[in-house]
C-alpha cells in the first residue's frame, strides 16, 4: 500500500491566532494578517524579539527572531502586539481535534505543526487534504498549509513550498522539479553552519547536494553529510509517532529584568526556577540525578556547569541546593542577565537510599511537596508560595520575582487587553 503522510502547518500561527481572536472575540475590525504587523515581546523586560510576522511585514524585511527595534527600523509603521500563549495553546488543541477526524495517528511536531499518518485513510490524498484545509479555515478562522507526500520529510518540504492556505504534493517523481531547484538552506536539517560548509564545496541547491557523491560529503561533514544527502534524495523512513518520547531532561530559564550583580538575588531567581522544574518532575512522576546551571552575562557570553547527585530526586530544596552549588562554582561576579536550571539522567525509580548521617526527613518533605502541588492544581499556582517571594519593589527596592519562574512568563500567557488598542 502506498504510504501517505500529511504535514499540517498553521500560516503565521501566533499572528493568525491573535488576528482571529481580536476579530471574533474582542470586536476588532483590523485584520492583523492584512497589514504590517507582528507578535513581539516586551523590550523593557528584555524579551523584545519578533515571535511571528504578517506577510505584509515580511515584505519590508521583518524577520522572526530579530529585535523589535530592528524590525521597526525596517518598517516604522509596524504594529506590534503582545503574545498570548494561553490563546495559542487553546487554538492548537482546537486544531488537533479537527485533525483527529481524519486519523488517530497524529504526531504534534510543535504548537502549530503536526504530521498525520494517512495511509489507508484516504483514496484521494490531495482532495482529502483540501477538505481538511477548508474545514480548519471555516471552523476556526485561520489558515493552514498541508503538505502531502510519501514520508514525513517530503510532507514537511511540501507544506513550505508556497504560502498561505494551500495544499502541495511532493511525490518522488516531483522531487526534481519542485525540490531540487531550491536553495540548500531550505532543506530540513541544513542550518547556517552546514550551508557555509556546502557552499565551500560548490553546493548551493538541494539538487546539487543530491548529486554529490556520498564519500565527498562524508569526508567533509561525516555522518551529517550522509544524512542530508539522503534527505536531498527524498529518503526518510521515520514513523509518525502518536505518543511523544519520554523527556530526557527537564529545565527552565529566564531573562532577568535587570542585570544581577548580588549573590542573594541570583539565588532567589534560582529558587523560582527550582520550584517550576521540580513541579514538572513530580507531575510526570520522574526524578533526576544531574543538575546544571547556565549563565548568560551582560555581554551575552554563556557558561554552564553541572553536578551529579548521590541519589535521584524530585524535591525542590535538593534541586535548589544543587543549583546554588553549581552557580557558586561557575559565577565570577560578572553581571548576569539570563539564568537557567537544567536536569538530566531522568528515572522513574521510586525508592530512596538513605545515608547513615542523613538528618533530613525526606518522606516528610515529599508529603509537603505533594500537598503544595495539590493546592496549586486546585486553586492556582499563587495560592501558596515561599515567604522570600513576598517582597515587592516598595520593600527597600527589592525587585519583584515570580515565585514560579521560567518557561512562559505571566505577561506572555495572557496580555492585559484593557491596555491594548484593539482597532
Q: Enumerate the active-site residues.
A: 113
CB 121 within 8 A of CB 4: yes
* Residues facing residue 295 across a β-bridge: 303, 339
Which residue carries 550522509 as its cell? Answer: 226
CB 68 within 8 A of CB 53: no
* Residues facing residue 381 across a β-bridge: none
Closest CA to 279 of 118, 404, 110, 412: 404
Q: Rounded to the nearest 10 degrees, what angle do helices 214-232 and 192-200 cross at?
A: 130
Other CB atoms within a 10 A radius of the CB of residue 340 amount to 22
- ∠ CA 375-379-383, rounded to 5°: 70
Torsion of CA 363, 366, 367, 372, to 10 degrees: 160
Torsion of CA 12, 19, 417, 89, to 10 degrees: -50
Closest CA to 84 of 138, 25, 133: 25
- ∠ CA 246-250-255, rounded to 5°: 145
Measured distance CA(84)–CA(422) in Å, rounded: 14
Amino acid at each position: 500500500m502506498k504510504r501517505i503522510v500529511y504535514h499540517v502547518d498553521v500560516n503565521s500561527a501566533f499572528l493568525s491566532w491573535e488576528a482571529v481572536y481580536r476579530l471574533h472575540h474582542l470586536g476588532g475590525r483590523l485584520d492583523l494578517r492584512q497589514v504590517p504587523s507582528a507578535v513581539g515581546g516586551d523590550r523593557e523586560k528584555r524579551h523584545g524579539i519578533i515571535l511571528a510576522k504578517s506577510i505584509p511585514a515580511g515584505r519590508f524585511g521583518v524577520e522572526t527572531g530579530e529585535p523589535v527595534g530592528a524590525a521597526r527600523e525596517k518598517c516604522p509603521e509596524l504594529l506590534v502586539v503582545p503574545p498570548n500563549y494561553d490563546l495559542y495553546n487553546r487554538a492548537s488543541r482546537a486544531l488537533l481535534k479537527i485533525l483527529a477526524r481524519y486519523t488517530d495517528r497524529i504526531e504534534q511536531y510543535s504548537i502549530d505543526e503536526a504530521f498525520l499518518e494517512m495511509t489507508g485513510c484516504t483514496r484521494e490524498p490531495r482532495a482529502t487534504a483540501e477538505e481538511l484545509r477548508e474545514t480548519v479555515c471555516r471552523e476556526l478562522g485561520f489558515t493552514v498549509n498541508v503538505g502531502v507526500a510519501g514520508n514525513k520529510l517530503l510532507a514537511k518540504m511540501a507544506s513550505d513550498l508556497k504560502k498561505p492556505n494551500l495544499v502541495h504534493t511532493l511525490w518522488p517523481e516531483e522531487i526534481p522539479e519542485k525540490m531540487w531547484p531550491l536553495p540548500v538552506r531550505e532543506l530540513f536539517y541544513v542550518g547556517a553552519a552546514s550551508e557555509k560548509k556546502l557552499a565551500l564545496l560548490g553546493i548551493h541547491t538541494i539538487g546539487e547536494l543530491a548529486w554529490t557523491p556520498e564519500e565527498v560529503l562524508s569526508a567533509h561533514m561525516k555522518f551529517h553529510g550522509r544524512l542530508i544527502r539522503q534527505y536531498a534524495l527524498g529518503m526518510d523512513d521515520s514513523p509518525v509517532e502518536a505518543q511523544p518520547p519520554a523527556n530526557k531532561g527537564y529545565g527552565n530559564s529566564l531573562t532577568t529584568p535587570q542585570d544581577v550583580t548580588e549573590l542573594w538575588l541570583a539565588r532567589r531567581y534560582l529558587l523560582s526556577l527550582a520550584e517550576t522544574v521540580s513541579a514538572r518532575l513530580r507531575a510526570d512522576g520522574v526524578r533526576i540525578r544531574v543538575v546544571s546551571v547556565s549563565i548568560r552575562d551582560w555581554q551575552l557570553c554563556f557558561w554552564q556547569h553541572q553536578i551529579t547527585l548521590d541519589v535521584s530526586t524530585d524535591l525542590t530544596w535538593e534541586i535548589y541546593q544543587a543549583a546554588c552549588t553549581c552557580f557558586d562554582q561557575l559565577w565570577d561576579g560578572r553581571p548576569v542577565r539570563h539564568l537557567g536550571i537544567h536536569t538530566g539522567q531522568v528515572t522513574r525509580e521510586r525508592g530512596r537510599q538513605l545515608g547513615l548521617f542523613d538528618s533530613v526527613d525526606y518522606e516528610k518533605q515529599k508529603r509537603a511537596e505533594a500537598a503544595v502541588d495539590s493546592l496549586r492544581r486546585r486553586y492556582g499556582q499563587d495560592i501558596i508560595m515561599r515567604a522570600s517571594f513576598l517582597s515587592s519593589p516598595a520593600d527597600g527596592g527589592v525587585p519583584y520575582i515570580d515565585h514560579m519562574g521560567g518557561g512562559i512568563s505571566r505577561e506572555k500567557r495572557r496580555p492585559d487587553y484593557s491596555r491594548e488598542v484593539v482597532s
